Amino acid sequence: DIPSLAKVYQGYFLIGAAVNPATIKSQSELIEKHFTSITAENQMKFEQLHPEEDRYTFDVADNMVAYAKGQGKQVRGHTLVWHNQTSDWIFQDKDGQEVTREVLLQRMKSHITTVMQHYKGDIYAWDVVNEAIADNGPELLRESKWLSIIGEDFIEKAFQYAHEADPGAQLFYNDYNESDPEKSQKIYTLVKRLIDNGVPIHGIGLQAHWNLYHPPLADIKQAIERYASLGLKLHITEMDVSVYSHGDKRTDVTEQSEEMKALQADRYEQFFTLFREYKDAIDSVTFWGVADDYTWLDHFPVRGRKNWPFVFDANHQPKDSFWKIVKFK
């Protein structure tokens, strides 16, 4: 008998999955049985919801929310302010000239307000700002149009607008490489500053795009401790465990070897043991997909290379990784 992941983790945290209109069909059985929260993989991003200043396209995302509601699942909103998958029009006027700080703030506010009010009551947590921190170097924030046009306070403005739009929503700062000691220090610094300035922020999203070898468990633990010490909620928001290390650019691997499967199962066991240890801080653990037949990692960072990052295989059967994370009681 295959237990439900979400049921096993009742009393610990929600178990979520990123889904899209195709996987809602092709992976419906797994989604319905094992997950209590969903995130739209792409369908709530700026370019999808707001292709032109006066035009919002909510239909696809609305269907996903209706599906979640029908299934009694929660929805995480992803994402409002990001440097990727954001329509260029927002940064330019009709002549293609860069807009001023005031105009961009107004447009940002209008986007956040419209989207959050549209989904008020249906989305319990939003990734308000995604990936704003610089990966390396002395700079705290990554270069982006948001930063260069508005200035550093684009982040706190985004949270303020979001809170005004839906005071009931939990507001998250979300990022990747979140367990890297240097970057986690920067994330901590940014969020601490927001809290000290009275900015309405309720949580930190750890994307958790990890692999068989990296990051080390000790780094993840340190990052979780650091973030939890701020007294905020933590969500694991985009978890996947790639079978390739960062530098591995092979494209000729056609199946997951026994060695990869065993390593992955050990990693998953360690991760979930750690998550359970921090269950008071961690409210939800979302995978960036459902089963190995579909993952964005098949196209990233190397195009057209198969990956097997989940606890369900391509035939929707539980892998060793699955059994390792459900057998702890």
Taking 3-state DSSP, the helix, strand and coil percentages for the chain, each rounded to the nearest 5, stand at 40, 20, 40
| C-beta neighbour count of 200 within 10 angstroms | 18
Geometric angle at alpha carbon 185, from 184 and 191, rounded to 5°: 85
- What is the nearest approach in angstroms of ligand XIL to the Cβ of residue 80? 12
* Nearest CB to ligand XIL, comparing residues 39 and 264: 39
* Nearest CB to ligand XIL, comparing residues 94 and 303: 303
Rounded CA-CA distance 91/123 in Å is 27
* Nearest CB to ligand XIL, comparing residues 43 and 170: 43
Indicate the DSSP class of residue 316: S
Length of the chain: 329
* Nearest CB to ligand XIL, comparing residues 42 and 92: 42
- What is the nearest approach in angstroms of ligand XIL to the Cβ of residue 196? 26
Catalytic annotation, pick one of 131, 139, 225, 269: 131
Sole binder of ligand XIL in the list 296, 298, 314, 320 (CB under 6 A): 296
The SS3 of residue 266 is helix
Residue 87 sits in the site that holds ligand XIL (CB under 6 A)? no
Q: Is 98 a catalytic residue?
A: no
Q: What are phi and psi of 79, to 5 degrees?
A: -150, 160
Residue 298 sits in the site that holds ligand XIL (CB under 6 A)? no
CB-CB contact of 206 with 223 (8 Å): yes
* Nearest CB to ligand XIL, comparing residues 26 and 42: 42
Sole binder of ligand XIL in the list 26, 42, 71, 92 (CB under 6 A): 42
Residue 213 sits in the site that holds ligand XIL (CB under 6 A)? no
Whole-angstrom CA distances from 86 to 108, 145, 185, 186 are 11, 10, 27, 24
- Closest by CA to 162, choosing from 184, 135, 193, 130, is 130
Residue 89 sits in the site that holds ligand XIL (CB under 6 A)? no
Q: Is 41 a catalytic residue?
A: no
Catalytic annotation, pick one of 98, 152, 238, 259: 238
Residue 41 sits in the site that holds ligand XIL (CB under 6 A)? yes
For the chain, first and last CA: distance in Å?
16
Give the x/- contact pattern for ligand XIL in 120-139, rule: CB under 6 A: ----------x---------
Residue 240 sits in the site that holds ligand XIL (CB under 6 A)? no
Q: Which residues does the annotation mark as catalytic? A: 131, 238
Site residues (CB under 6 A) for ligand XIL? 41-42, 130, 176, 207, 238, 296
